[in-house]
């Protein structure tokens, strides 16, 4: 299975989501390493899930601003890519030896500064927000022209082709969801978008 663009699925909490994403051709699967999060994934559970996966890169996601805390997480978690949300960790965090995804708020007054400052230190900028307005879409085109941008909000089965056609983004980021009960999932929204991206 191949997809038209790079897809990251964030906040995965269960094997069902992880295996579904891998089977659909998702390249990046993300797991939250922060204990305070509702989507927290313990390292032992992630290791179990990883044993069932092939062909995907594991992204460890954290909101932490503490360099030492993140360094400790990387000793515990076996991940391929580190996703952070605090630009102040750069460039020092690159010393930990993992490719970096920097998550940015689309409404931040400093987003253009962050893109310029940290372009050479990250693999991707994941831009997240609330509503994908025409104004933000216009700026997204500018941001993605010179930067490796993954769009993390406002994507639906109805607009994904338009977004990919009108902007030079590198990919999109979707979110996993909790299981209704163990082994039972509703994939409607996720599957609708991924099916739109399938390449024969």
Strand positions, DSSP E, 43-182: 57-61, 81-84, 100-105, 124-128, 149-151, 171-175
Question: How does pLDDT run along the chain (200 residues), one tens digit per residue?
Answer: 689 999 999 999 999 889 999 999 999 999 999 999 999 999 999 999 999 999 999 999 999 999 999 999 999 999 999 999 999 999 999 999 999 999 999 999 999 999 999 999 999 999 999 999 999 999 999 999 999 999 999 999 999 999 999 999 999 999 986 554 455 445 578 889 999 999 87
Task: Find, among 50, 42, 65, 56, the residue nearest to 15 by Cα.
Answer: 50
Report the predicted TM-score, pTM, of the whole model to 2 decimal places: 0.94
Domains defined along the chain, listed by start: 2-199 (3.20.20.70)
Q: What is the CA radius of gyration of the chain?
A: 16
Q: Which helix (H) or strand (E) holds 18?
A: helix 15-24
CA distance linking residue 33 with residue 123, whole number of Å: 19
What are the backbone angles phi and psi of residue 32, rounded to the nearest 5°?
-80, 130
């Amino acid at each position: 299975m191949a997809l038209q663009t790079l897809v990251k699925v964030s906040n995965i909490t269960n094997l069902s989501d992880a295996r579904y994403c891998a089977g659909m051709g998702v390249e990046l699967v993300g797991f939250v390493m922060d204990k305070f999060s509702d989507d927290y994934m313990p390292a032992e559970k992630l290791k179990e899930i990883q044993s069932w996966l092939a062909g995907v890169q594991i992204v460890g996601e954290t909101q932490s601003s503490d360099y030492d805390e993140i360094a400790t997480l990387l000793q515990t978690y076996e991940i391929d890519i580190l996703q952070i949300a605090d630009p102040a960790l750069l460039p020092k965090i690159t010393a930990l030896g993992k490719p970096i995804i920097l998550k940015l708020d689309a409404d931040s007054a400093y987003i253009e500064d962050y893109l310029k400052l940290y372009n050479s230190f990250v693999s991707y900028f994941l831009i997240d927000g609330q509503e994908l307005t025409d104004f933000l879409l216009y700026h997204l085109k500018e941001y993605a022209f010179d930067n490796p941008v993954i769009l993390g909000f406002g994507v639906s089965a109805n607009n994904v082709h338009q977004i990919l056609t009108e902007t030079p983004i590198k990919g999109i980021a979707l979110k996993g969801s909790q299981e209704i009960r163990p082994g039972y999932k509703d994939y409607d929204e996720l599957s609708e978008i991924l099916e739109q991206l399938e390449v024969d």
